[in-house]
A and B are shown apart, each in its own frame.
Chain A
Amino acid sequence: MTRLVTLKLIRLVPVMFLVSVLTFSLLEVAPGDPALTIMGDNPPCPSLIEQELVAEYGEETDISLLCTQAVYQSVRERFNLDDPIWERYLIWLGNAVTGDLGIRLTNQSFTVLEGIQQTFPVTLQIAIFSMGLALLVSIPMGVWAAFHQGKGFDRLSGGSSFAIISIPSFLIGLLLIFFFVWRPWMLRNVVLIFAMIWVAWLLWSALKRIVSRMVSGSEAGAHATTDFVLAATVALVALGLFFWWPDFPRQGFSRWTSDEGILENFRTAFLPALTVALTEIAVFTRLLRSDIIATLQEDFILSARARGFSNRRIMFRHALRPSSFSLITLAGVAFGRALGGTVIVETIFRLPGMGRFIVDQGVRLNDYTVVMGGVLVLTTAVVLLNTGVDIAYYYLDPRIRRGRR
């Protein structure tokens, strides 16, 4: 086990090296000049340079252009921008290895590490929330759809999944803002109506069960009780939501360490997380559904049925685990994507996340230390995630535990 983890972690090194080399070269060929950003539009002419220029050209000459050029040169020298690319890379690498990601070129009062420390937790939290939400919703939905394959719920979830997958995520974000922020009463009523229909259906089926039990003469069973309990829960949740419908902010983010507390943090994180999660819910549900359907065809499911186990037991104890391999893989990939690709969501909801940090502060301004530092952190996170997925495999599927015994 330790060996496995160590091996995976060792694998991290070449991956990160390659990614950093590629990113660095890409930044080099990208248009733009960090020195220009550092200088700003109308750089003041430092008196030292001014004196030198005056001494050289005399009082009469307009030295402003010459001064700008001189400042530009000094900036490039100061940040070693004229050194060959490999030299700059090696210097950066040497510092990065010791944990020093450098200062931000365009905002020299801050280091890159500080920027990452401020923004990464936000991105990480949104990613964790959205993945948790996606798994929490999609696993029951996938199981239910697979179990009632071809029935109403399965077809409904299939259809809506494809609809959701085909909507781009920025549009999902805008739609969510529209309904949750501008038209909350619509959602509130829709939820209430659906819940009431559900409750009515549950009560009706419970009633049918009781009547049929009474007719056939055997004891009234536990099934009706579960229906009643479920119906009561649904009704309570729906009513609670109706009367205390949470009001979500259009934008902004409150850290959970801030004074407003953790509830405020949840409230601000919900819509961005839902935006990321919706697509994943759709994908995960369809994936898990089809994997479970495939597993249910297996002989060991048939033999479990022949052993007299209940459907629920077969589904959760026998079918779910062998069906979860591709879901785990995809969830790992999706998590990585959520970490690195939330820039759109962060922009829509104005979150101080790392995607925006890298794009707005790094790429746009040609600030290579910001981009390099951000990419390094993201790469590490993604590789660690994949290691986590591999370890999860190890536990889920004994067949891959080769070379251990």
Chain B
Amino acid sequence: MRIKKARQAIENFSTNPSVSTTIYPMTLTTSLDAALTSDTSNNISTSDMSSFASSSSSALLKVSDLHTHFATDRGELRAVDGVSFSLDHGSTIGIVGESGSGKSVTVRSIMNILPRNVGLQAGEVIFEGENIQDLTGPEAKHFWGVKMSMIFQDPMTSLNPVVKVGRQITESLRYHLKMSRPEASARALELLELVGIPEARRRLSEYPHQLSGGMCQRITIAIALSCQPKLLIADEPTTALDVTVQKQILDLLDRLQIDQKMAMILITHDLGVVAGRADEIAVMYAGRIVEKAATTDLFASMRHPYTQALFESIPKIEHRSHTRLRAISGQPPDMTNLPTGCSFSPRCRYAQERCLTEKPPLEADPVNTNRSYACFYPVNTPAGEEALSVNIKHGKSAAGLDMSREGLEGVSLSGDGIGGGGLIDDGDGIGGGGLGEMADEDLEGMDG
């Protein structure tokens, strides 16, 4: 099932008209680069390339050093541990990572919808020059859901099952924008037409259970857009949907973003989803951003071993059938008990002694300052190549990861016993629609 989904996702990616079908060559750096350049060039024309400079003063949203920790029975859980990024008017940032990497908690912190057991919340979120924590009174009452709004993963459950669709849309309009009843219903009708719902008038008086998943997601989008937000946060908006519908929804979001001149935070665990759509991509691991770069730069050459591993775990069309996927070995980290050094080091093929004792900071690339990563031995750099060859020579990484089990060219390995953590043999671990469903419980379980 997941494999199928993964294939579909890749096909989805490749059917994007401007991306050639040969986007996943063994050496990523060349043709992907070209493909993505041609793709993003028409996308980016709507947004400002200079937005990638994180210190841009005109930024719509600026998140600096965001921390969200939870008090759990097993100890403090640092779901978000120092995340910073900024987003310009009308641009898109994609946040990518496994389940449990803290991407949902990051945006929920921004949306102010964290569960109650949040232990510590620190850092600044500046929206249009104003710190959102300082909002009070009516300004705060009509901020979330108006200036920024959010759509969720599962449209079937994120609509109230006992309220008519029309009333769910008009509720925001009446509550935030103080519209009269007829005004609000007229606007609701417009919104439904805007998100491409046929027979909009009839739908207004229907209940969510009478609609399909794709239809429901269109309605949640209509609700999110009802107050014309400047920022739309989409938390895995297509994960729960059928693949054909996924593309429709993503295309709809693309179109609406341009029409409404919104900025967007697109959360996904599917690199294929953000590849053609985001201006910038932030890869999260264990509550931190480990790599952040313009989409073109990121796909042209990855720096963080985790990004690389994520990318390689996507099945590729030109692989022979029965090719073993190169899933990321090992388990996602226990978020309440992270390693002292780099959180990814136990699973990293590049890990050296230094990685085990020191946390690499997120630093700008010395050559291309628009990209940053948190790694001492970045991929595709001399230091990284050397680290890798040292590890291969020793047969294992500094953290003890067995290197022999997955050779660099080992894409077509077959047989059992491959993969350190056994995730390769686990159908669920194969990153398809998701690069990892592995640690769902970690964060999702806490939301109560």
List the A side residues contacting B447 at CB < 8 Å. Answer: 297, 302
A218-B137, A221-B137 are known contacts. Are A399 and B158 too (CB-CB below 8 A)? no
Least CB distance, A216 to chain B, in whole angstroms: 8
Stretch at the interface among B2-10, B81-89, B139-147, B244-252: B139-147
Stretch at the interface among B121-129, B149-157, B401-409: B149-157
Are B143 and A308 closer than 8 Å at their CB atoms?
yes
Are A218 and B160 closer than 8 Å at their CB atoms?
no
Are A322 and B137 closer than 8 Å at their CB atoms?
no
Contact of B154 among A299, A308, A396 (CB under 8 A): A299
Contact of A307 among B162, B172, B207, B209 (CB under 8 A): B172
Kindly state whether residue A318 has any CB partner on chain B within 8 Å: yes
Are B175 and A304 closer than 8 Å at their CB atoms?
no
Are B152 and A303 closer than 8 Å at their CB atoms?
yes
Within the assembled complex, what's the spacing in Å between the Cα atoms of A300 and B151? 11
Least CB distance, B87 to chain A, in whole angstroms: 18
17 A-B contacts, Cβ less than 8 Å apart? A216-B136, A298-B157, A300-B159, A300-B161, A302-B113, A303-B158, A303-B159, A306-B111, A306-B113, A306-B149, A308-B141, A318-B163, A321-B162, A322-B160, A322-B161, A398-B207, A405-B210
Task: Mark contacts of B260-292 with chain A using CB atoms, 8 A cut-off: 1 yes-contact digit, 0 otherwise.
Answer: 000000000000000000000000000000000
Q: How many A-B residue pairs have CB under 8 A?
A: 78
Kindly state whether residue A305 has any CB partner on chain B within 8 Å: yes
Closest to A213 in B: B136
List the B side residues contacting A299 at CB < 8 Å. Answer: 152-154, 157-158
Q: Of residues 212 to 235 in A, which have CB atoms within 8 Å of B's CB atoms?
A: 216, 218-219, 221
List the B side residues contacting A397 at CB < 8 Å. Answer: 161-162
Are B162 and A303 closer than 8 Å at their CB atoms?
no
Are A304 and B162 closer than 8 Å at their CB atoms?
no
List the B side residues contacting A313 at CB < 8 Å. Answer: 175
List the A side residues contacting B137 at CB < 8 Å. Answer: 218-219, 221
Are A300 and B157 closer than 8 Å at their CB atoms?
yes
Kindly state whether residue A162 has any CB partner on chain B within 8 Å: no
Q: Of residues 173 to 230 in B, which have CB atoms within 8 Å of A's CB atoms?
A: 175-176, 207, 209-210, 220, 223
Q: Of residues 389 to 405 in A, which have CB atoms within 8 Å of B's CB atoms?
A: 396-399, 405
Given contacts A302-B152, A302-B447, A307-B171, 13 further A-B contacts (CB under 8 A): A216-B136, A299-B152, A300-B157, A303-B158, A305-B113, A306-B144, A308-B145, A308-B176, A309-B145, A397-B162, A398-B161, A398-B209, A399-B161
Closest to A405 in B: B210
Within the assembled complex, what's the spacing in Å between the Cα atoms of A310 and B144? 11
Least CB distance, B394 to chain A, in whole angstroms: 47
Kindly state whether residue B75 has any CB partner on chain A within 8 Å: no
Closest to B207 in A: A398
List the B side residues contacting A398 at CB < 8 Å. Answer: 161-162, 164, 207, 209
Query: B interface, how many residues as a size bin?
Result: 35 or more
List the A side residues contacting B157 at CB < 8 Å. Answer: 298-300
Within the assembled complex, what's the spacing in Å between the Cα atoms of A218 and B139? 12
Within the assembled complex, what's the spacing in Å between the Cα atoms of A305 and B210? 24
Contact of A300 among B111, B144, B158, B210 (CB under 8 A): B158
List the A side residues contacting B164 at CB < 8 Å. Answer: 398
Within the assembled complex, what's the spacing in Å between the Cα atoms of A55 and B111? 105
Are A302 and B158 closer than 8 Å at their CB atoms?
yes
Within the assembled complex, what's the spacing in Å between the Cα atoms of A306 and B137? 17
Kindly state whether residue B448 has any CB partner on chain A within 8 Å: yes
Residue of A308, A313, A396 ringed by the most chain B CB atoms within 10 A: A308
Binding site for A on B (CB under 8 A): 111, 113, 136-137, 141-146, 149-154, 157-164, 171-172, 175-176, 207, 209-210, 220, 223, 447-448
Within the assembled complex, what's the spacing in Å between the Cα atoms of A318 and B172? 13
Least CB distance, B252 to chain A, in whole angstroms: 18
Least CB distance, B222 to chain A, in whole angstroms: 12
List the B side residues contacting A317 at CB < 8 Å. Answer: 171
Within the assembled complex, what's the spacing in Å between the Cα atoms of A302 and B163? 16
For the complex of A and B, 4 pairs with smallest distance between CB atoms: A308-B145, A308-B144, A307-B145, A299-B157
List the A side residues contacting B142 at CB < 8 Å. Answer: 308
Least CB distance, A359 to chain B, in whole angstroms: 43
Closest to B116 in A: A149
Least CB distance, B235 to chain A, in whole angstroms: 9
Closest to A305 in B: B113
List the A side residues contacting B146 at CB < 8 Å. Answer: 308
Task: Mark contacts of A280-302 with chain B using CB atoms, 8 A cut-off: 1 yes-contact digit, 0 otherwise.
Answer: 00000000000000000111101
Are A399 and B209 closer than 8 Å at their CB atoms?
yes
Least CB distance, A294 to chain B, in whole angstroms: 10
List the B side residues contacting A303 at CB < 8 Å. Answer: 150-152, 158-159, 220, 223
Task: Mark contacts of A343-378 with chain B using CB atoms, 8 A cut-off: 1 yes-contact digit, 0 otherwise.
Answer: 000000000000000000000000000000000000
List the A side residues contacting B172 at CB < 8 Å. Answer: 307-308
Contact of B150 among A221, A306, A399 (CB under 8 A): A306
Closest to A310 in B: B141
Closest to B147 in A: A308
List the B side residues contacting A219 at CB < 8 Å. Answer: 137
Within the assembled complex, what's the spacing in Å between the Cα atoms of A405 and B211? 14
List the A side residues contacting B160 at CB < 8 Å. Answer: 300, 304, 318, 322
List the B side residues contacting A405 at CB < 8 Å. Answer: 210
Closest to B150 in A: A306
Closest to A397 in B: B162
